[in-house]
Structure 1
Amino acid sequence: MYGITCTYRLFQHIAGLGDFFVSSNKRPISSNDLTNINVMNDPQISRDGEKYAFVRKEIGQDLEYYSHIFIHHYTDDIPIQWTFNKVRDHSPRWSQDGTELAFVSDRSGIDQIWVMSTAGGEPRQRTHLKNGASHPSWSPNGRYILFSTSLRTDESINATEADNAKENEKPKEPVVVNKLRYKSDDKGFRKARRTHLALLDLKTDEVEIITDGNFDHHAADWSPDSRQIVFSANRDEDEDVSNTLDLFIIDIETQDIIKLTDSSGVYSLATWSHDGKKIACIGHELDYKGATLNQVWVIDALSKERTCMTLQWDVQIGDAAIGDIRSGHPNPGPVWSSDQNHLFFMASDHGITGIYQMDRNGEISAVHEETNHVYGFSYHAPLDIFVAGISDPSNPGDFYKINRNEKGKVRLTDINVDFLKDVHLSIPEPVTTKADDGWEIHGWLMRPAMYEEGQRYPLILELHGGPHAMYANTFFHEFQVLAAQGYAVLFTNPRGSHGYGQTFVNACREDYGGKDYSDLMSAVDHVIDTYDFIDENRLGVTGGSYGGFMTNWMIGHSNRFKAAVTQRSISNWTSFYGVSDIGFFFTDWELGAHMFDDPEKLWHHSPLKYVKNINTPLLIMHGENDYRCPIEQGEQLFTALKHLEKPVTFLRFPEANHDLSRTGPPALRIERLNHMIKWFKEYL
């Protein structure tokens, strides 16, 4: 009891909500509260350092997503909204002189670059491209805006939105496929388009594409003299089957391209030093395939000499935390201090994502490391300050100002204060258990929101996807909804998860359903033995993606669970190989086998093989447009269980991809939660 009391006090202090957890007037949180949560991200400090821009995303009464740009002076109590109406505005970026703000908006019907004066007035549309524009970046001299767009080899950069409308009016044509990577879960069918970098000349309004070839180009940064751009791409001849990502420098006048790396790994999020001599980036050399920890690298822009700066630090660089409120928020990559003696970056460790600094000798220390989740930051080098987006289990996220030379942080926003004052939340209690072989497994237990001493409650085990990801000290709406319905919620990071070092994250590869499964069962046994309010005869389990695979696996290997909900799951690795947008390499990376080399191993790790053992009532939820774990995976499992006359229901979500629970259509996200609640209530 001491642990949970201290945790409650900690988050009362962090959130500054006073009697937040003890008011009897609060109501339980519900599925529909998705519409009451404001999501803030992408803080961008102005050039003078006196204010910052950010994006607020919300769900309107019509159950559609909208996002707008806000500006907040540190001296003001509340931010000022700068863009309005039923649009999606995002990616604000300040001009070098601070007089203008560029951003991306779909107000013309498709994402384009817009610019507005910081003195006021209406925004002006600056690109009118057929396939839209995104990721604006001002050149340091203020002459250009660099951005991304997509083109087929036969399309002109000067094609406009009107041309796109005409094309959409044409009869549907067959899609010609001659590449392995012809679809992706986030973009759908590629239609032979590739992502290219382009320049908008602000003096002439001319747009020029600066990359070429049948390749995708990403994550660009300007050199300080505005003459060069560093970007990421796989421009190798075998790029269709290769999973490497290289760094390149392009000269904007000659468009000559220099390759910085040697196709030995995955490098991205590159940033120039202030003197233009060095480039920092995040990446790894695929030593453990997709389970390899990211590192911080520094590359000499002239000699191409590459140095791994964090090799001795057994921590994942970047934000590995999983949640259901925010997704896809920008990662600034490694950021240079004014004197170039330090680099700043995010890293994830034991359920915490924080901001860290590293000096030239590779010495690492924390800038901000608390029991919470830093999901993004902006750094102002001359003033040595950060504006960081931070979430914790009691708060979906707010912005804080951090001075590197001072202790603590200053809260800048309280965007969800009205919502948080109205609802009763359950705050997770950290738990640590021993696996069968002695490994420590870390996780959290949430008590039912209206917990009463002496009562016994059912337990739901939540399983994260990835598997190389991390449950963390962040806000999770789904968990709060289940706690509000009277369930205890257990969520853990079994081996395979990020946050616990390279050996740990690699440990589930070629062993799916082995030690990772026993880790999870050990955690269940631990909380049952430790907390007498848990009813061991009413256990439920749910998870998505890899968590869906594990849900299927668990109920095929144990009858302890009385209800299960599997989401966007994998049931058959042999078919997954050929239908998933990543299947052709993922099965080899994670299971150590190709379908045509060792189909027996793929079948051994397939939950479908054990379907006759499944007696747990199962709800299968799957998005129709899921290309990561295609819906045929759910179909096979449903058909087999129904044919065997087992208790099963199949719920198909139209127009939903693999990210249904995070970024899917709001109405479907709410329905998903309601069906989950209904299923657990019926069987638990």
Structure 2
Amino acid sequence: MNQTKRHLTAEDLKHIEVYSDPQWTPDGNAYAFVSTVANNDNDYASQIFVQTLYGQKPKQWTFDNAKNSHPRFSPDGKKLVFQSTRSGVPQLWLLHTDGGEARQLTTFKHGAVSPEWSKDGRKIIFSAPLEKDDDVTNQHEPSKEERQKEQEEKQKKPLVINRLKYKSDGEGFHNDKHTQIVLYDVEDETFEQLTFTDTDHHFEDISPDGNHILFSANLSDDRDYELTNDLYLLNVTSKEMKTLTNGKGQYGNARFSPDGSAIACFGHEFAYQGATLNDLFIFDAASGDGTCLSNDWDFQLGDAMIGDTRLGQSENGPVWSDDGQHLFFIGTDFGATGLYQADTKGELNVLYKDNSHVFGFSRNGAKFILGISTPVNPGDFYLMNHDSNITRLTDANKEFLDTVELSEPETLTFKAKDGWDIQGWLLRPYGFEEGKKYPFILEVHGGPHAMYGQTFFHELQLLAAKGYVVLYTNPRGSHGYGQTFVDACRTDYGGKDYTDLMSAVDYVLAEYDFIDENRLGVTGGSYGGFMTNWIVGHTNRFKAAVTQRCISNWLSFYGVSDIGYFFTKWELGKNLLEDPAKLWDFSPLKYAENIETPLLIVHGEKDYRCPIEQGEQLFVTLKHLHKVVEFVRFPDASHELSRSGKPEMRIERLNHITRWFDEYL
């Protein structure tokens, strides 16, 4: 290691610049993207940059202290539409590419997001949260004072709930608003609402001739009880609507082919519930007949990589070639993501895949802008030509990377107890010296159907910087290793997934003599929090543990989580009333008396995915049993605290985690 560089700190979260959402200019000579940084202790700022392909550095196009994002060039390249929070809530703004100030297009009460151009550049289609009787032709954006007064009035009234899906993590309690699709005429400066059903609608694409809108939604009469998401075609003029899918699955990321005759999308029909791999479909736009191209593939389509800096960036989905004969998309496989190509018969080719994380792309002819992150680089953009050679375009975090030492992971493959191959990675500590013994931390990811891999992960690097050997693995249940593997933990939580993790620890202790077997720690969040609880309830080999946004009691999780009523059966095989004894057997709380490991419980108070009562139950039980336990509660923090929470709170969280391990390891 280069000891002229300093070690990473928790506060470095504020210094990392995160790039996302590359978008070509129509002429293919430049591209726009979004850069996000922490602008203070409580929030982030995002700015739009544009870079030509001729060696110049990216040029900043927005400057206000706000979130500016989702840049989209008009087909003639003369205008850029984007969304910005500069007026209070996200609204649409229009900027002429030859200069001048941006002009605000929308003043919708609850904001407007995700703008896209029609192919002729005459219309902008966007999404807006609307109440049932809202008039899109007469929208007023409230002032800060008006919003505060409305919020105060709302807090004086009880909340009447009559829906099963009445809350969601990050959004809180639902109200009478639903996401609708709105069309803006650029020349006439008029608005037209296109969807009206009492549910959320997701704009997918507009046909090349501008006559049809493609959107996804759950329009079923039983939509409060179902998780399906179908594709629909809406005639813009007649408002006639056609359903493309069969009401049995979940479809999205859909796009028209260049001639408008076909539609490509990702989707599945819940064959393995939440562990079902995406498939790639093509639908005939006229007949609605569909074909699955990916029947013979066995990997996850899309980006399933877990990190803690990308702030929930959305999925690209499949992108058509200009001739309509090929589709391009990101795929997740063996701890990495790459860019793939398939023809309309399902023949698959890898265009780019390395030990890295392709987190986004944009295509212009035979050229691609790829967003790529590695374990030692938060992310930059690269140009890839038809020969798949790549050229680096940006150096987003040069100053940071020039001064901070990061640990390059060692890739491991070891055998589980039943002979399955399990992949993992080991980080050596900052200042590593041969002959010394170091404390060790096992990290367990959430999901469980997600994937650790070759991407930048600040938390993992921080633990290595603090002097720990860090091991992170993909036990069964993880994406990246095929359908059988990702499905293998369902109805077996705490079974072979647990023994996979213990086999990982056994393997590195046998292979690396610099790990101190008497100073082992374990941590994880969400499913990783469940597994941390389960581990310390079933073995005392770990001397310290930190459980984050965890599940401790499946009996109560069923009714308090925003997903509990379906996720419990998806993952455990039974609902509360079907087999409460089984749910209790799967609950780490049942084994609290066995816990001897000092345990820190970290939880957000507004976590609706794994509500804080899960942490409360575990804390009270362990404290009542006189165990070594501490509870750290983060106000106003959701399940996303570690990824997109307030910068100050994210740093506090990391400091508590390292403090606990420093004390007990």
TM-score, normalised by the number of residues in structure 1:
0.95
CA 1:171–1:526 in structure 2 vs 1: closer, same or farther (change >3 Å)?
Answer: closer
Distance in 1, Cα, partners of 2:237 & 2:316: 26
- Matched AA of 2:438: Y
Spell out, residue by residue over 1:326-358, the C-alpha distance to the aligned partner (whole angstroms, 9 max, x if none): 132132211111111110000000001000000
Residue 49 of structure 2: aligned partner: 70
Q: Which residue of 2 aligns with 1:283?
A: 267
Asked whether the equivalents of residues 127 and 203 of structure 2 are also in contact (C-alpha less than 8 Å), the reply is: no
**Cα distance in 1, alignment partners of residues 410 and 389 from structure 2:** 24
- 2:524 alignment partner in structure 1: 543
Letter in 2 for 1:313: W
Mapped partners of 1:204, 1:655: distance in 2? 42
2:357 paired residue among 373, 381, 392: 373
Contact 2:23 2:32 in 1 (8 A): yes
| CA distance in 1 between partners of 2:525 and 2:215 (Å) | 33
CA–CA separation in structure 1 for the residues paired with 2:388 and 2:177: 49
Counterpart in 2 of 1:152? 131
The equivalent position to 2:568 in structure 1, one of 587, 591, 602, is 587
Counterpart position of 1:449: 430
Q: Aligned AA for 2:304?
A: A
Bigger shift: 163-172 or 455-464?
163-172
- How many matched pairs? 660
Q: Is the 8 A contact 1:175 1:191 kept in 2?
A: no
Partner AA of 1:148 in structure 2: S
Measure how far apart 1:579 and its partner are.
Answer: 0.5
| Equivalence map 1:419-438=2 (5 Å) | 419-438=400-419
Q: Of the candidates 60, 65, 70, which is equivalent to residue 91 of structure 1?
A: 70
- Give the structure 2 partner of residue 473 of structure 1: 454
**More off after superposition, 105-114 vs 178-187:** 178-187
Equivalent residues in 2 for 1:205-354, closer than 5 Å: 205-354=189-338
Partner of 1:395: 377
The Cα shift of 1:171 comes to 5.0
In the alignment, is residue 499 of structure 1 matched against residue 484 of structure 2? no
How do 1:533-572 residues align onto structure 2 when only pairs under 5 Å count?
533-572=514-553
Q: In 2, Cα distance between the equivalents of 1:550 and 1:96?
A: 50
Distance 1:537 1:470 in 2: 29
Q: Which moved more, 1:575-584 or 1:182-191?
A: 182-191
What is the rounded CA distance, in whole Å, between the counterparts of 1:302 and 1:178 in structure 2? 39
* Aligned counterpart in structure 1 of residue 150 of structure 2, from 152, 159, 167: 167
CA distance in 2, matches of 1:311, 1:565: 41
Alignment partners' CA distance in 2, 1:389 and 1:588: 37
Deviations 1:90-136 (A, max 9, x none): 00000111000000000001100001000011100000000100010
Partners of 1:253 and 1:267 lie apart in 2 by 25
Number of the residue aligned with 1:7: none
Structure 2 distance, partners of 1:311, 1:460, is: 39
State the Cα distance separating 1:63 from its structure 2 match: 4.7
Structure 1 residue 384 displacement after superposition: 1.3
Alignment-derived partner of residue 615 in structure 1: 596
Amino acid at match of 1:602: L
Distance 2:197 2:158 in 1: 24
In 1: Cα distance, 2:236 partner to 2:151 partner: 33
Match of residue 195, structure 1, among 174, 179, 193: 179
- C-alpha separation in 2, matches of 1:168 and 1:456: 56
Per-residue deviation at 1:406? 1.4
Is residue 612 of structure 2 the alignment partner of residue 631 of structure 1? yes
Q: What is the Cα deviation at residue 205 of structure 1?
A: 1.7
Q: Give the Å deviation of 1:61.
A: 4.4
- Contact 2:526–2:551 (CA under 8 A) maintained in structure 1: yes
* 1:43 paired residue number: 22
Find the partner of 1:360 among 329, 335, 344. Answer: 344
How far apart are the structure 1 equivalents of 2:360 and 2:225?
32
Question: AA paired with 1:648?
Answer: V
> How has the CA–CA distance of structure 1 residues 171 and 627 changed in structure 2, closer, same or farther, with 3 Å as cutoff?
closer
Structure 1 residue identity aligned to 2:376 = S
Any conservation in 2 of the 1:567–1:622 contact (CA below 8 Å)?
A: yes
Structure 2 residue aligned with 1:3: none
Contact 1:576 1:633 in 2 (8 A): yes
Deviates more, 1:548-557 or 1:73-82: 73-82
Q: Would you say 1:663 and 2:647 are equivalent positions?
A: no
Q: Give 1:662 deviation, angstroms.
A: 0.3
Query: 1:522-533 to 2 correspondence within 5 Å?
Result: 522-533=503-514
Q: Any stretches of 5+ residues in structure 2 without a counterpart?
A: none
Indicate which of 389, 393, 412 corresponds to 2:393. Answer: 412
What is the rounded CA distance, in whole Å, between the counterparts of 1:672 and 1:588 in structure 2? Answer: 31
Once the two structures are TM-superposed, the CA of residue 394 in structure 1 deviates from its matched residue by 1.0
Structure 2 Cα separation of the partners of residues 217 and 356 of structure 1: 29
**Partner in structure 1 of residue 115 of structure 2:** 136
Q: Secondary structure at the match of 2:142?
A: helix
- Counterpart position of 1:482: 463
Contact kept in structure 1, 2:441 and 2:468, CA below 8 Å: yes
Q: The residue matched to 1:451 in structure 2 has which SS?
A: coil
Q: State how far apart, in whole Å, the 1-side matches of 2:98 and 2:280 are.
A: 39
Shift of 1:227: 1.0
Task: Sort the Cα spacing of 1:425 and 1:97 in 2 relative to 1 into closer, same or farther, 3 A.
Answer: same
Amino acid at match of 1:86: N
Give the residue type in structure 2 aligned to 1:549.
F
Q: Contact 1:323 / 1:475 at 8 angstroms: preserved in 2?
A: yes
Tell me, yes or no, if the aligned pair for 1:265 and 1:283 is still in contact at 8 Å.
Answer: yes
Letter of the 1:134 partner, please give it: V
Task: Among all aligned residue pairs of Structure 1 and Structure 2, give the percentage whose two residues are the same amino acid.
Answer: 56
Distance in structure 2 (CA, Å) of the matches to 1:134 and 1:671: 31
2 CA distance for matches of 1:609 and 1:139? Answer: 57
**Separation (CA, whole Å) in 2 of partners of 1:64 and 1:643:** 38
The offset of 1:229, in angstroms, is 1.1
Deviations along 1:197-217, whole A, 9 cap, x unmatched? 111111222222110111111
Which of 105, 117, 120 aligns to 2:96? It is: 117
1:576 aligned residue? 557
* Counterparts of 1:624 and 1:198, CA distance in 2: 35
- Separation in 2, partners of 1:99, 1:178: 48
CA deviation map 1:565-618 (0-9, x unaligned): 000000000100000000000001000001011111111100000000011000
Q: Structure 2-normalised TM-score?
A: 0.98
The code of the aligned residue for 1:528 comes to L
Q: Give the distance between the partners of 2:600 and 2:56, measured in 1 at CA.
A: 47
Checking the alignment, whether the CA contact within 8 Å between 1:219 and 1:270 is kept in structure 2 is no
8 Å CA contact 1:219–1:269 kept in 2: the answer is no
Runs of 5+ consecutive residues of structure 1 not aligned to the other structure? 1-21
Deviation, 1:23, is 3.3
Cα deviations across residues 542-565 of structure 1 (Å, max 9, x unaligned)? Answer: 000000000000000000000000
Q: Distance in 1 between matches of 2:349 and 2:521?
A: 41
Amino acid at match of 1:209: Q
Query: What is the SS of the residue equivalent to 1:161?
Result: coil
Q: Which amino acid aligns with 1:415?
A: A
Q: CA deviation at 1:281?
A: 0.1
CA distance in 2, matches of 1:442, 1:170: 53
Does the 8 A contact of 2:41 with 2:646 survive in 1?
A: no
Distance of 2:250 and 2:219 partners within structure 1 = 13
Q: Which amino acid aligns with 1:297?
A: F
